[in-house]
Amino acid sequence: MDRETVLVGIDAGTTKVTTLIGEVGRTGDVNIIGYGIAPSVGMKKGMVANIDQTVNSIASSIEKAERLSGYKISSAFVSVGGSHIGSQNSRGVVAVSGHKREVSREDVARATDAARAVQVPSNREILHVVPRGYIVDGQEGIKDPLGMSAVRLEVETHIVAGAATSVQNLSKCITQANVAIDEMVISSLAAAEATLTDTEKELGVLVADIGGGTTDVAIFVDGAVYHSAVLPVGGINVTNDVAIGLRTSLNLAEEIKIKHGTANLNEVQPEELLNVAVLGDEGGQTIQRRKLCEIIEARMSEIYSLLREEVKRSGHAGMLPAGVVLTGGGARIGGAADLARDVLEMPVRIGSPQGVGGLMDQLSNPAFATPIGLLLWGAEHVGAEPLTAYSNGSSVGAGFGRVVDWVRGLFPG
Ligand SMILES: Nc1ncnc2c1ncn2[C@@H]1O[C@H](COP(=O)(O)OP(=O)(O)OP(=O)(O)O)[C@@H](O)[C@H]1O
Ligand SMILES: [Mg+2]
């Protein structure tokens, strides 16, 4: 990357919409120069449930970020979630062309196209075709085949697709908020960008972004994504359980959960008491804190059991030495990592977003791994000229440089 540019990430989650504006330096470093966080209304389980409400939520977060930075946003990298998202691995094979029999960019693009040509039903839209590695004349484990002498080139890819209508509803909302889409990135891959180290990805690791409505999962093996999925459970389920179990309102349940909750029952003494307002009872009730935490522990255990199933489904049970990295607001509950270690029987750490500077005061917690990852994804993929760019004849980085228009002065103060 030979010049500075500005990128935008928009993460429309089930509970909050985050818009981040990041300046990308000559060396690829990313600094946040504007952010806008707005409550999300109109989304359910990571999907658009009401267009107008979602557009308003997105527009409000965009406006905050524009005011803070003095930039007008014209396009953005956008996260996509929801349990309609599924993945599969596919291999593409081509004969190396050209009289020199050296692997060219064109051969790589053709191989990726061949892998992409899997049977995808017409009601599904392909979101990612990620090259995992190459096989050159039978030699496996090649990361960059360009220039190698060969007759036959194979590529292993990870393909992610979602329900076409869900994807279209989200892009409709972004467009109606007057922003063009640079690229859609599934939440788990964005969260991985902001939290996983290269070593973890090489060794084998699972990242789980526990949001409000969904838990977005990606498994990395040999440095590349091998499996991805979205589970339809998250922090909102925990809050609902607390509200029902303690017979209190959702707002109060959310507050109590965050203030007094933990998923690690070893941290809770039986004599600890809480006063909780009860629906229809002015005086409220006194409960054991343990009762609250048992409710939380039960639901968090369920989420972790689903993660364990997902590891099994991927075929990598017992083969993820770097363990599990938890992100998302749901991972902020006390004892989240302790309980996960028990249920999953793997090393577990909480992943706070890394690798960006600038206005990070409010953003350096796991709930912002996805939006921060969107900027890192953008910084990497815009500069790197993704291989698929050659197959459709247009460069993904075409929007580069016109991502935002400089309009400082338009926004007073
Ligand atoms: N400090 C905290 N302690 C416990 N839970 C928290 C804390 N902060 C946030 N949460 C929970 O995190 C959840 C929201 O997480 P996040 O902001 O990652 O979700 P989202 O991106 O809006 O939703 P999704 O990714 O599912 O579409 C809520 O259920 C909230 O209760
Ligand atoms: Mg999220």
In short, whether 239's Cβ falls inside 6 Å of ligand 1 is yes
pLDDT at 90 over 60: yes
pTM (predicted TM-score) = 0.92
End-to-end CA distance of the chain: 32
- Residue range 244-278, pLDDT digits in tens: 999 999 999 999 999 999 999 999 999 999 988 87
pLDDT given for residue 120 in this prediction: 85
pLDDT at 3 over 90: no
In short, whether 82's Cβ falls inside 6 Å of ligand 1 is no
pLDDT at 406 over 50: no
Tell me how far apart the alpha carbons of residues 159 and 119 are, in angstroms, rounded to a whole number.
Answer: 11
Nearest CA, atom 4, ligand 1: 333
Instruction: List b or e across 148-175, with b for residues whose CB sees 16 or more CB atoms inside 10 angstroms.
Output: bebeebbbbbbbbbbbbebbebbbebbe
- Residue range 355-375, pLDDT digits in tens: 999 999 999 999 999 999 999
Nearest alpha-carbon partner for 333 in 307, 367, 364, 362: 367
- Residue range 106-135, pLDDT digits in tens: 999 999 999 999 888 899 999 999 999 999
Nearest CA, atom 8, ligand 1: 329
Q: Domains in the chain and their CATH numbers?
A: 86-163 (3.30.1490.110)
Tell me how far apart the alpha carbons of residues 250 and 22 are, in angstroms, rounded to a whole number.
Answer: 35
- Residue range 309-330, pLDDT digits in tens: 999 999 999 999 999 999 999 9
pLDDT given for residue 351 in this prediction: 98
- Residue range 135-156, pLDDT digits in tens: 999 999 999 999 999 999 999 9
In short, whether 96's Cβ falls inside 6 Å of ligand 1 is no
pLDDT given for residue 383 in this prediction: 55
In short, whether 15's Cβ falls inside 6 Å of ligand 1 is yes
Lowest mean pLDDT among 75-79, 108-112, 280-284, 343-347: 280-284
pLDDT given for residue 390 in this prediction: 28
- Residue range 151-187, pLDDT digits in tens: 999 999 999 999 999 999 999 999 999 999 999 999 9
